[in-house]
Structure 1
Amino acid sequence: MTSKALSHIRICDFTGQLAGAGATRWLAAFGAEVIRIEDPVRLGRWDVLRGTSPFVDERRGHEFGGGFNNHNVEKLGVTLNLRTDRGKELLAELVAVSDAVTENFAAGVLDRLGFGYDRLAEIRPDIVYVSNCGFGHAGPYRKYKTWGPIVQACCGLTFTSGLPDMPSAGWGYSYMDHHGGNFMAMAIMAGLIHRNRTGEGQWIDMSCTDAGATLLGPAVLDYTVNGRPLRRPGMPFSNRNQFPAMAPHGIYEADGHDAWLALACRDDRDWQAVAEMMGIDDRRFDDLAGRLAHEDDLDDAVRSWTATRDRFEAAAALQAVGVPAEGVAKPVDRIDNDPDTAAWGLWPEVDHGAMGRVRVDGIPVHFSDTDWSLEQGAPLLGEHNQRVLGGLLGLSEAELADLSDQGVI
């Protein structure tokens, strides 16, 4: 059997929530041994998702957080009380046999625990240490703490989303957690590749807010080159496309409760096909300049056709004449009723020690020879103390029992 792509990598992992845990989740799916470190006393302090909704049934407690399970599949879990000297000694032993240390605490937390980069490098000179916090460890904002919506507002994403004459809109609660986790996964791998080539470890400091700013793209370019903000007087602000200009381009009401159709008309050829299908005969819309000049009337004309039709049937009809269109999928459409999702295997089930068989997010890439697999749910609190502290570090069962009695694990 071919070994997994990252089965040679071991991660000493302090990450939580999604912005951090989502990063090491990628590595674990491809075979890395990711060892989550948790506090045996202050449950939920390091990762508030451990015991919070969604839940699979009526059971509650620190073993039943659905988000925690989803973000920590295929990881090992150990408990260490780092307020004790013995807990710190055991952590140092784990660092010594790990390739990387990962965390997304607020800036300076791991340093205050006695394990900043200088200490980690002292334990293992070639360690790759990756920290991911709201603003990184440099600059005047480094002490600020962030949460998903705050990151989006501060980096500029919230400003880019909204409807005309309406307040800015968010990008979904965990959008930056996903994006930040993806960036962190790339940072971990880049650090490990450099270490494997040169033997050099290093500290990789990441700012989740700056990761969000990298998504601003054309808005930053337009301001840099032309000195104009994305939202300015006379500029409608919605789903209309400016880079490049397209019309009609947007999300239109369809027949049914909360049903919508996405349409992107790229050029005059697309428009001719749309106009013929929808029965729109208005010379103002013959070219792009005219459609842009009368975009409100154009959208009303399109909407009068889409609002009486099933979103998926309308999209299929538009696709048949070469026009990009799709019904806006609700979760049930994509997760349970889409044959392509099933063929991809995007929602595998894992075995969780307390919840049982639970569906989780898959990974949106496939390797032909060393593909990912998700079979084991998130670790119960301290579930792998015996395997890691005993099997890897060599502690006896009696020693483990004593450490438990002393509150070290």
Structure 2
Amino acid sequence: MTGILEGLTVVEGSAFVAAPLGGLTLAQLGADVIRFDDLGGGLDHTRWPLAAGGQSLFWAGLNKGKRSLSVNLRSDAGRELVSEVIGAAGAFLTNFPARGWLSYETLRARRDDLVMVHLKGNRDGTSEVDYTVNPATGFPWATGPRNLAAPLNSVLPAWDIAMGELAAVGLLAADRHRTRTGQGQLVEIALSDVAFAVVGHLGRVAEAQLASRDSPRRDGNYLYGAFGHDFISKDERHVMVVALTRRQWKALLEVTGTQEQMAKINEATGVDLDTESGRFEDRDLIAAILRPWFRSRDLAEIRDAFEGTGVSWGPYQTFRQLVDDDPRVTVDSEMWDEVEHPGVGRYRMPGTPLDFSAVPREPVRRAPLLGEHTAEVLGGLLRLTDAELGRLHREGVIGLE
């Protein structure tokens, strides 16, 4: 590994999305991330989506570039091995309960400068997952068509994603502090804190508090606070168009030839459509004027008309259309490589979205098979001999791929 984090070793004990994503982020930047799992795999080892043979594509996606250590976590000997590996690595990322043998105090006894990042549901340690915290954020009441009477969740685990990336940032910040001071530390991050902080960052908490009212409720696919809306083309494809800036707005009117009609809206309503708030206020009228232009053209014609004009737009795509039609998700886009995953096949895998001018891009590395690096990790970090590894395997303490 020769990425920008080369030389950093991190042990990961994780399940689901946030913690594995944090480890993946570090691994794709060159850190040696060692994931440990119980014999037979953890909670997410068979999570959907699945390949034709039953292997988890979820696992394969979130564990790319890591090394896998398979240990009997129910045994004292297995827990001792993992604790030793954590001490040897010096950095630990986990969303497992940080108590008993996995408490910071217990692990720190092995290495005083240990950096540990612990992800949890709520600040007080009670349970919370993306699909339970999202309803509390207010966004499900702002998502969906105007006539929907019930809250609507998103299938994207946005808070898990934000938490995973923030966990990686927290680990790197703590490691930098250790480099400067020699001090290790425990970094804790709660999913509900992440979600509610973002609600605050986006101004929704301030709006509700200062205006003593809720934000406007669901508004379909309109963009909140400016103009943005979806339109249907002649060939029944949906596209999203956004005019946040004055430049984007002017480009949209010029390409669609609707300057005169928009000027009439200005005259009739007295609302300045050159402002974001004005475009939001008159969004229904604007959409009504633009709709026939899109309905009279197919997607290819719309794409050609918008090419190079500065209009901000994009087509709605299914996952299959994304794979088949979008040039940004091909091996020619630099972030993607075709990689063989044992037992699954060869398919496109993404690397890190970060490009560093001083460090060359590394090829994408597949996820490990469960326990694939057990002997390598224990032999390298703990200096266990082949005879010792063989004994541990016979005793059911470790799994060897």
Shorter-chain TM-score range: 0.7 to 0.9
1:16 paired to 2:15: yes
In 2 relative to 1, CA 318–91 (structure 1 residues): closer, same or farther, beyond 3 Å? Answer: closer
1:196 paired to 2:179: yes
The percent identity for this pair of structures is 26
1:30/1:371 contact within 8 Å kept: no
1:264 paired to 2:221: no
In 2 relative to 1, CA 229–294 (structure 1 residues): closer, same or farther, beyond 3 Å? Answer: same
Q: Distance in 2 between matches of 1:121 and 1:67?
A: 32
1:250/1:264 contact within 8 Å kept: no
Q: Which position in structure 2 is the counterpart of 1:288? A: 272
State the one-letter code of the partner of 1:253: I
Q: Which position in structure 2 is the counterpart of 1:317? A: 305
In 2 relative to 1, CA 322–102 (structure 1 residues): closer, same or farther, beyond 3 Å? Answer: closer
In 2 relative to 1, CA 371–180 (structure 1 residues): closer, same or farther, beyond 3 Å? Answer: farther
- Report how many residues are paired: 385
2:256/2:293 contact within 8 Å kept: no
1:128/1:188 contact within 8 Å kept: yes
1:221 paired to 2:201: no
Pick the aligned partner of 2:291 from 303, 313, 319: 303
TM-score if structure 1 supplies the norm length?
Answer: 0.84
Q: Which position in structure 2 is the counterpart of 1:97? A: 88
Q: Distance in 1 between matches of 2:259 and 2:317?
A: 22
State the one-letter code of the partner of 2:51: V
Q: Which position in structure 2 is the counterpart of 1:4? A: 3
| 1:261-292 deviation line (CA, Å, top 9, x unaligned) | 32326447457536625984772355437865
User: 1:7-406 residue pairs with structure 2 within 5 A?
Assistant: 7-40=6-39, 43-44=40-41, 46-48=42-44, 50-57=45-52, 59-60=53-54, 64-105=55-96, 109-112=97-100, 114-136=101-123, 138=124, 142-146=125-129, 148-166=130-148, 167-216=150-199, 217-231=202-216, 237-243=219-225, 246-247=226-227, 249-264=228-243, 266-267=245-246, 269=250, 272-273=253-254, 276-277=257-258, 280=261, 283-286=264-267, 287-288=271-272, 294-318=282-306, 321-342=309-330, 343-406=332-395
In 2 relative to 1, CA 174–405 (structure 1 residues): closer, same or farther, beyond 3 Å? Answer: same
Q: Which runs of 5+ in 2 are unaligned?
A: none
Shift in Å, 1:324? 2.6
Q: Distance in 1 between matches of 2:76 and 2:162?
A: 36
| 1:316-373 deviation line (CA, Å, top 9, x unaligned) | 4246554333333443454443334444323323343433433223221111232453
1:24/1:185 contact within 8 Å kept: yes
In 2 relative to 1, CA 227–186 (structure 1 residues): closer, same or farther, beyond 3 Å? Answer: same
Task: Show structure 1 runs of 4+ deviating over 6 A.
Answer: none
1:157/1:212 contact within 8 Å kept: no
Shift in Å, 1:255? 2.7
Q: Which runs of 5+ in 1 are unaligned?
A: none
State the one-letter code of the partner of 1:120: L
State the one-letter code of the partner of 1:383: E
SS at match of 2:109: helix
Root-mean-square deviation over aligned CA pairs: 2.8
In 2 relative to 1, CA 67–293 (structure 1 residues): closer, same or farther, beyond 3 Å? Answer: closer
SS at match of 1:394: coil
In 2 relative to 1, CA 301–340 (structure 1 residues): closer, same or farther, beyond 3 Å? Answer: same
Q: Distance in 1 between matches of 2:317 and 2:26?
A: 29
SS at match of 2:30: coil
Q: Distance in 2 between matches of 1:281 and 1:161?
A: 28
